[in-house]
């Protein structure tokens, strides 16, 4: 499957940073390998320069919770479409990421999510035994030596995880 980018249109909305009616969003449909059609939204404010982008799968609708059991190096390569509204957690590794108002969406792999978590761990972590142990565990997980469950809660329903032979459970969630 090839990849292509199709321009859908542009909209101007109120900027969530400065409140001016000058936030321009360009929308595209991107046909991604493996994932299929995704909606890309790239926005920037003409007044204050605030930028935000999002990615979500097309044809979604309901809030959902995705639970993926990661037990092998192959599972680590599963593709994750994480929309801007999704929160991530990995209970076994003590990871909990909730989206702020300026959160953005992205496409990565399960391993890529662990990399992002490592990226934001403060540099003085090495002086803290608990933090150090956590980093060690995450690195083990990235090498496939630690099994864990990735949980994605998405009130917009625009997130998904795609991979071969994945142990995945998707619940449509009525609690939002
Ligand atoms: Zn602005």
Query: What is the whole-number distance in angstroms between the Cα of residue 14 and the centre of ligand 1?
Result: 8
Q: Assess whether 19 and 73 both reside in one domain.
A: no
Give the DSSP H/E element, type plus range, for residue 62: none
Domain end position, chosen among 39, 57, 75: 57
Q: Is 164 found in the same domain as 87?
A: yes
In angstroms, what is the C-alpha Rg of the chain? 18
Torsion over CA: 57, 95, 155, 100 (sign): negative
First to last CA, the chain: 35
User: 27 C-alpha to center of ligand 1: Å?
Assistant: 18
Tokens 């565990």 found at: 137
State in Å: Cα 21 to ligand 1 middle: 8
C-beta separation of 15 from 43 below 8 A: no
Top pLDDT among 109 and 3 is at 109
Residue where a domain terminates, one of 37, 57, 77: 57
Q: How far is the CA of 81 from the centre of ligand 1 (A)?
A: 27
CA 55 – ligand 1 centroid, Å: 21
pLDDT score, position 1: 43
Q: Provide mean pLDDT across the span 68-92.
A: 95
- Average confidence (pLDDT) over 124-134: 89
d(CA 140, CA 137): 5
Are 81 and 166 in the same domain?
yes
> Residues 27, 111: one domain?
no
Summarize pLDDT for 4-51 with one digit per residue, the tens: 888 999 999 999 999 999 999 999 998 877 777 889 999 999 999 999
Task: Determine how many CB atoms are found less than 10 A away from the CB of residue 143.
Answer: 10
Where residue 138 sits, what CATH number does that domain have?
A: 2.60.120.1040
**What is the average pLDDT score of the chain?**
90
- 76 and 146, same domain (yes or no): yes
53 with 69, same domain?
Answer: no
Angle in degrees, 0-180, between the axes of helices 110-119 and 129-142, rounded to the nearest 10: 160
User: How many domains are there within the chain?
Assistant: 2
Tens of pLDDT, residues 138-156:
999 999 999 999 999 999 8
Residues 81 and 128 in one domain: yes
Last residue of a domain, one of 15, 36, 57: 57
Backbone angles phi, psi at 144, to 5 degrees: 80, 15
Whether residues 96 and 155 share a domain: the answer is yes
Residues 85 and 131 in one domain: yes
Q: Which domain holds residue 24?
A: 4-57
Q: Give percent of the chain above pLDDT 90.
A: 65
Question: With bands split at pLDDT 50, 70 and 90, how would you rate the model's confidence at 175?
Answer: low
User: pTM of this prediction?
Assistant: 0.81
Task: Give phi and psi for 132, each to the nearest 5.
Answer: -60, -45
Residue 49 is part of a domain; what is its CATH number? 2.20.25
Looking at residue 19, what is its pLDDT?
A: 96
pLDDT, position 3: 58
Instruction: Tell me, yes or no, whether 158 and 120 share the same domain.
Output: yes
Task: Tell me, in angstroms, the distance from the centre of ligand 1 to residue 166's CA.
Answer: 41
DSSP line for 133-166: HHHHHHHHHHTT-S-EEEEEEETT---EEE-TT-
pLDDT, residue 36, reads 77
């Amino acid at each position: 499957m090839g990849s292509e980018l199709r321009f859908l249109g542009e909209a101007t909305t109120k900027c969530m940073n400065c409140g001016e009616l000058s936030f321009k969003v360009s929308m595209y449909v991107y046909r991604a390998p493996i994932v299929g059609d995704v909606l890309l939204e790239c926005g920037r404010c003409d007044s204050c320069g605030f930028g935000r982008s999002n990615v979500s799968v097309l044809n979604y609708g309901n809030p959902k919770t995705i639970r993926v059991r990661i037990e092998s190096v192959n599972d680590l390569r599963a593709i994750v479409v994480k929309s801007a509204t999704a929160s991530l957690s990995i209970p076994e590794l003590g990871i909990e990421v909730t989206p702020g108002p300026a959160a953005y969406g992205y496409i990565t792999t399960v391993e890529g999510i662990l990399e992002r978590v490592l990226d934001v761990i403060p540099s003085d972590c090495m002086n803290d035994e608990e933090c150090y142990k956590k980093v060690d565990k995450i690195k083990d997980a990235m090498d496939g030596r630690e099994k864990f469950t990735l949980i994605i809660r998405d009130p917009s329903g625009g997130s998904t995880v795609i991979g071969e032979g994945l142990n995945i459970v998707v619940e449509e969630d009525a609690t939002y």
